[in-house]
Chain A
Amino acid sequence: EVQLVESGGGLVQPGRSLRLSCAASGFTFDDYAMHWVRQAPGKGLEWVSGISWNSGSIGYADSVKGRFTISRDNAKNSLYLQMNSLRAEDTALYYCAKGVVVVADYFDYWGQGTLVTVSS
């Protein structure tokens, strides 16, 4: 059974940093692209970033480019999102999602999300 478990969310002040993690199990992690997708309270889905199986291809939404960094550790079956210079508009539930082969593809499994609140 595919499982994606996010962690690392919390309350953080504007301008500070936070690192999210996603622990994956139930599939061969290093065969697939992985993604972060967020959902602000009461709003729709917004893709944040995606990374290919070997970290050779990475993409970011314009809203986070230059502030967020996605990475993965295939030996630990883990995905990460380093978030710097956080803003109030980054407040959202952050989902880890399993992709397919290339970064630009669909998401077939989603975690339950970790909540990030940016507020002073």
Chain B
Amino acid sequence: EIVLTQSPDFQSVTPKEKVTITCRASQSIGSSLHWYQQKPDQSPKLLIKYASQSISGVPSRFSGSGSGTDFTLTINSLEAEDAATYYCHQSSSLPITFGQGTRLEIK
């Protein structure tokens, strides 16, 4: 099973700040890494697919990068509505696994 480790677990940030969340895989997964946003009491929402591919309807301040074992989700110019938990997810091999999540609090 491929283990995904996100950092940090929690971050308190101010609006307009730039945020970087990292996801490290226990073995190489190519670019089969995806990012989701889950706001309180809501279902997860796909933000980025295949490490860096944008999703229609997702604000352009969200971007992803990386390949192999190290990946990054970047949020430029954070907005209050970005308060949420962010998860990475690998689809390189079964079983599909998620990172433990990174909770973003907006100050």
Residues of chain A touching chain B, judged by Cβ–Cβ distance below 8 Å, are 35, 37, 44-47, 50, 59-62, 95, 103-113
Contacts and interface: CB of A to CB of B under 8 A. Distances in A.
Interface stretch (B19-27, B70-78, B90-98): B90-98
Contacts of A62: 1, 95
B96 A47 contact: yes
B43 A106 contact: no
Contacts of B45: 110
Contacts of A46: 98
Contact residues of B: prevailing secondary structure:
loop
Given A106-B89, A111-B43, A44 B101 contact: yes
B66 interface: no
Interface in B9-29: none
Contacts, number: 60
Interface of B: 1, 32, 34, 36, 38, 43-46, 49-50, 55, 85, 87, 89, 91-101
Given A106-B34, A110-B44, A111-B43, A44 B94 contact: no
Contacts of A103: 94
Nearest to B92: A104
B95 A47 contact: yes
